[in-house]
Amino acid sequence: MTSTAVPSVTDAELDAVFTPIYERIAVGAVDREVDRQLPYDEVAELRAARFGALRVPTEFGGYGASVRQLFRQLIELAAAESNIPQALRVHFSFVEDQLLAEPGPVRERWLRAAGEGVLVGNAITEPGVGAVDRYRTRLTRDGDRLLLNGIKYYSTGSLYADHILTAADRDGERVGVLVDAKADGVRQHDDWDGFGQRLTASGTTEFTDVVVSEENVLGPGYGVAGPTYATSYLQLVQLAVLAGIAQRAERDARDWVSRRTRTYTHATADLPRHDPLVQQVIGRLSAAAFAARASVLAVADVLDEVLAGDAGDEKGLVAAELAAAQAQLTVIDTVLAATSQLFEVGGASVTSERLRLDRHWRNARTVSVHNPAIFKARAIGDHLLNGADLPFAWSAGERRTEGGAR
């Protein structure tokens, strides 16, 4: 089953629904950053507007948006609050999995749930475990019950979610498991200690004898060998976050300069906004935001083609993976430079803790180290020079080319 190629909604219609929400979310962004207030109310407003149903077909209560339309909205949300689209990253991948699933009651059940506003979080990665074939979390049978036990970290978005998608070992086989976030035995902790993206709720999740129904065991789960749309899709969410950060950084710098009356005795104009040097900085920030946005939407167009056609076509999946990796290398460098350069528009006052303009660089730096770019640069070169496989989600040794490259 493939997702629809023709969107059921226009950008203008989506903007009419969500832009006012983004504007309200943006108002409290600095205060939430200062006080480490998780955006529960903001996510609740998005849930009520069925933001998580953007890709769900209208027949199941969603908006029927294209991949490009989804990522366009994610950029705008990231410009308002960069933590939220990252927190929803696995939700949209989960919805995409359902769109690609065989028709049947399971697929319909979860598409309808997402269409009603239900959100899915993530608890896949484990502390101290660096590969998907080494999960210590176990799904075991106890009489007529299935019990889940284990500890996960980087549980991004799960504190905001209705269900948690996790990964476990079941009799030596990797499986995906969907857990009710409020189930007995589920404990979640906001103990993420990164210097950026502090409000993504990317902390620890503990599962202690959590009862799981057989229908919520969803197959092999994350890390299946072979090409998949999911790695490029999930990476693109991070790049959309970066594009949104760049957009907000430019806007914040421009607003600050527009109000500023103080300048230097050796400046070329009496007001900063009339100074050609300051104008150049704003111009470069604007160009960085434009370039990041354009790159994200270009990759989204590739994914739209893949997901609207044969989602198992290896050639298309490789094209999407390559495009996402190439965009990663350009977007990261562009946005990190921009979020540092914005401080050139003023003196020491631009570093005020009250402004928290440093959050843009900290957030961008934190997002950018997901799937570090240094590994992607080498992988792209090896692929283009030697035909080596691009790094999808499989473990080392699971897949080799005929020539022996991995």
Concatenating the DSSP letter of every residue in 156-219 gives TTGGG-SEEEEEEEETTEEEEEEEETTSTTEEEE-----SS-TTS---EEEEEEEEE-GGGB-S
Cα distance between residue 53 and residue 233, in whole Å:
16
Domain 229-386: assigned CATH number: 1.20.140.10
With a CB cutoff of 8 Å and minimum separation 6, the contacts of 229 are: 96, 100, 303, 306, 307, 311, 317, 320
Across the range 84-92, mean pLDDT stands at 97
Identify which of 379, 240, 228 has the alpha carbon closest to the alpha carbon of residue 298.
Answer: 240
pLDDT at 129 over 70: no
Q: What is the SS3 assignment for 141? A: strand
* Phi, psi of 122, deg, nearest 5: -140, 135
Determine if residue 356 is left, alpha or beta; phi over 0 gives left, psi from -120 to 50 gives alpha, anything else beta.
Answer: left
CA pseudo-torsion sign 193, 197, 198, 199: negative
43 token code pair: 């996510």
Q: How confident is the model at residue 398 (pLDDT cuts 50, 70, 90)?
A: very low
pLDDT digit string, tens, across residues 132-178: 557 899 999 999 999 999 999 999 999 999 999 999 999 988 899 99
- The answer to whether 11-118 and 229-386 have equal CATH topology is no
C-alpha radius of gyration, the chain, whole number: 22
Domain 123-220: assigned CATH number: 2.40.110.10
Q: What class does CATH assign to 11-118?
A: mainly alpha
Q: How many CB atoms lie within 10 A of CB 373?
A: 17
Cα distance between residue 240 and residue 233, in whole Å:
10
DSSP string, 35-98: HT---HHHHHHHHHTTGGGTTS-GGGTS----HHHHHHHHHHHHHH-THHHHHTHHHHHHHHHH
pLDDT at residue 399, rounded to an integer: 45
pLDDT at residue 4, rounded to an integer: 43
pTM: 0.93
pLDDT digit string, tens, across residues 236-293: 999 999 999 999 999 999 999 999 998 888 888 989 899 999 999 999 999 999 999 9
pLDDT digit string, tens, across residues 221-238: 655 667 889 999 999 999
pLDDT at 302 over 90: yes
pLDDT at 313 over 70: yes
Cα distance between residue 321 and residue 391, in whole Å:
8
Q: How confident is the model at residue 5 (pLDDT cuts 50, 70, 90)?
A: low
Domain boundaries defined on the chain: 11-118, 123-220, 229-386
Q: Which amino acid is at 290?
A: F
With a CB cutoff of 8 Å and minimum separation 6, the contacts of 193 are: none
H-only helix segments in 223-372? 230-259, 276-308, 314-341, 358-368
Cα distance between residue 210 and residue 141, in whole Å:
11
Provide the CB-side half-sphere exposure for 117 (13 A, CA): 9
pLDDT digit string, tens, across residues 205-215: 999 999 999 99
pLDDT at residue 346, rounded to an integer: 87
pLDDT at residue 311, rounded to an integer: 76
Across the range 89-117, mean pLDDT stands at 95
Q: List b or e across 96-114, with b for residues whose CB sees 16 or more CB atoms inside 10 angstroms.
A: bbbbbbeeeeebeebbbbb
